[in-house]
Structure 1
Amino acid sequence: MLKRKATDYIENWIKTKNKKCLLVQGPRQVGKTYLVEHFAANHYEDFIEINFKEMPSAREIFTGDLTVDKMVMAIKFRFPEKKLLPKKTLIFLDEIQECEEAITSLKFWAIDNRFDVIASGSLLGIDYKRASSYPVGYVDYLKLYGLDFEEFLWAMGISSEMVSFLKDSLSSKAIIPGAINSQMLSYYRQYIAIGGMPEVVQKYVDTKDFREVDKIQKNLLMGYQYDIAHYASAEEKVKAEKCYLSLSKQLLDKENHKFQYKEVEKGGRAQKYYSSIEWLIRADIIHLCRRVTDIKFDLDDYAKDDFFRAYTTDLSLLMAMKDFSIKQHIVENTLTGSSKGGIYECAISDALYKKGYKLYFYKNETTKRELDFIIQNDGKVVPIEVKSSNNRANSLSLLMKGNKISSGYKFIDGNIGISEEGIITLPLYMVAFI
Structure 2
Amino acid sequence: MIYQRKAYQRLQEWKQSNGRASMLIEGARRVGKSVLAEEFGRREYAKYLLIDFSQAPREVIDLFLHQRHDVDSFFRYLFAFYAFEPVERDTLIIFDEVQFCPQARAFTKQLVADGRYDYLETGSLVSIQRNVKDILIPSEEESLELNPFDFEEFLWALGERPLADLINSNYQDKQPLPDMLHRKAERLFREYMLVGGMPQVIARYVTDNSFMAADEAKRSILRLYRQDIEKYGEIEAKNIAAIFDEIPAQLSRHEKRFRLASLRKGARYQAYQASFFWLADARLINPCFRSTDPNIGLGMNMEQSAVKCYMADTGLLVTHAFSDSRSTKENVYRDILFGKIELNEGMIVENIVAQQLKASGHKLFYFSQSDANSSRMRVEIDFLLAEPYENAAGRYRISPIEVKSGKRYSTSSLDKMRAMYGKRIGTEYVLAPKPLVADAQGNRIQLPLYMSGLL
Aligned to 2:392: none
Q: CA deviation at 1:197?
A: 0.5
Instruction: Give the counterpart letter for 1:59 in structure 2.
Output: I
Asked whether 1:424 is paired with 2:440, we answer no
Aligned with 2:381 (options 371, 392, 415): 371
Deviations 1:395-428 (A, max 9, x none): 1123124322231110001100023671100100
Q: Give yes or no for contact 1:407–1:424 (8 Å, CA) kept in 2.
A: yes
> For residue 243 of structure 1, what is the aligned residue in structure 2?
243
> What is the DSSP-based 3-state SS (H/G/I as helix, E as strand, rest coil) of the residue aligned with 2:361?
coil
Question: Structure 1 vs Structure 2: percent identity of aligned residues?
Answer: 27
Residue 382 in structure 1 maps to residue 399 in structure 2? yes
Contact 1:387–1:412 (8 Å) recurs in 2:
yes
On the 8 A contact 1:128/1:231 being kept in 2, the answer is no
Aligned partners of 2:20 and 2:196: how far apart in 1?
34
The structure-2 alpha-carbon separation of the partners of 1:193 and 1:261, relative to structure 1 and needing over 3 Å to count, comes to same
Q: Is the 8 A contact 2:250 2:258 kept in 1?
A: yes
Cα distance between partner residues in 1 of 2:417 and 2:32: 40
- TM-score, with structure 2 as normaliser: 0.90
Q: Tell me what 1:73 maps to.
A: 76
> Counterpart of 1:270?
269
The correspondence of residues 317-396 of structure 1 with structure 2, limited to 5 A, is: 317-323=316-322, 324=328, 327-334=333-340, 336=342, 339-366=344-371, 367-377=377-387, 379-390=396-407, 391-396=409-414
Work out whether residues 398 and 426 of structure 2, in 8 Å CA contact, stay in contact via their aligned partners in 1. Answer: no
Distance 2:269 2:19 in 1: 47
Give secondary structure in 1 for the equivalent of 2:80.
Answer: helix
- Write the distance in 2 (CA, Å) between the matches of 1:312 and 1:197: 12
Give the partner amino acid of 2:363. Answer: K
Length, aligned pairs only? 429
Q: Which amino acid aligns with 1:373?
A: F
Q: Which residue of the partner structure matches residue 315 of structure 2?
A: 316
- Partner Cα separation in structure 1 for residue 159 and residue 448 of structure 2: 21
Q: Distance in 1 between matches of 2:119 and 2:233?
A: 29
Deviation for aligned residue 1:430: 0.2
Distance in 2 separating the partners of 1:242 and 1:263: 10
Q: 1:358 to 1:26 in 2, by over 3 A?
A: same
Residues 51-99 of structure 1, C-alpha deviation per residue, up to 9 Å, x if partnerless?
011214221121224143122112122112x112212221111011111
Q: Distance in 2 between matches of 1:360 and 1:267?
A: 25
Task: Describe the SS at the equivalent of 1:118.
Answer: strand
203-212 or 35-44, which deviates more = 35-44
Secondary structure of 1:290's aligned partner: strand
- Equivalent residue of 1:389, what SS? coil
Amino acid at match of 1:83: E
Identify the match of residue 110 of structure 1 among 77, 88, 112: 112
Whether 1:402 aligns to 2:420 is yes
Q: Is the 8 A contact 1:217 1:319 kept in 2?
A: no
Q: What's the CA shift string for 1:113-132, capped at 9, x where partnerless? A: 11011111111011223253
| Corresponding residue SS for 2:274 | helix
Q: What is the alpha-carbon distance in structure 2 between the residues aligned to residue 356 and residue 56 of structure 1?
A: 37
Report the CA distance shift for 1:155/1:171 in structure 2 as closer, same or farther (over 3 A).
Answer: same
Alpha-carbon distance, 1:269 to partner:
4.3
Measure the CA separation in 2 of the matches of 1:93 and 1:230: 22
Range with greater deviation from structure 2 (376-385 or 25-34): 376-385
Work out whether residues 196 and 316 of structure 1, in 8 Å CA contact, stay in contact via their aligned partners in 2: yes
Distance 1:335 1:415 in 2: 24
Alpha-carbon spacing, 1:335–1:113, altered in 2? closer, same or farther (3 Å):
farther
Instruction: Tell me, in whole angstroms, the C-alpha distance in 1 between the residues paired with 2:174 and 2:26.
Output: 35
Please, what TM-score do these two structures have when normalized by structure 1? 0.94
Q: Which blocks of at least 5 consecutive residues in structure 1 are unaligned?
A: none
Contact 1:20 1:139 in 2 (8 A): yes
Amino acid at match of 1:17: N
CA contact (8 A) 1:104 1:131 kept: no
Q: What is the letter of the counterpart of residue 349 of structure 2?
A: Y
- Report if aligned partners of 1:125, 1:282 keep a CA contact under 8 Å in 2: yes
- In structure 2, what is the equivalent of residue 190 of structure 1? 191
Bigger Cα displacement from structure 2, 217-226 vs 55-64: 55-64
Task: Provide the C-alpha distance between the structure 1 equivalents of 2:211 and 2:157, rounded to a whole number of angstroms.
Answer: 16
Structure 2 unaligned runs (5+)?
Answer: 323-327, 372-376, 389-395
Q: Superposed, which structure 2 residues align to 1:7-406 within 5 Å?
A: 7-57=8-58, 58-66=60-68, 67-80=70-83, 82-130=84-132, 132-159=134-161, 161-233=162-234, 235-252=235-252, 254-265=253-264, 268-270=267-269, 272-323=271-322, 324=328, 327-334=333-340, 336=342, 339-366=344-371, 367-377=377-387, 379-390=396-407, 391-403=409-421, 404=423, 405-406=425-426
Change in Cα spacing, 1:330 to 1:400, as seen in structure 2 (3 Å) is: farther
SS of 2:136 mapped into structure 1: coil
1:265 CA drift (Å): 4.3
* Cα separation, 1, equivalents of 2:432 and 2:85: 56
* Alpha carbons 1:397, 1:423 under 8 Å: kept: no
Q: After alignment, is 55-64 or 99-108 more displaced? A: 55-64
Letter of the 1:283 counterpart:
A
Query: Which residue identity does 2:159 align to in structure 1?
Result: G
Secondary structure of the 1:351 match is helix
The RMSD of aligned alpha carbons is 1.9
SS in structure 2 of the partner of residue 381 of structure 1? strand
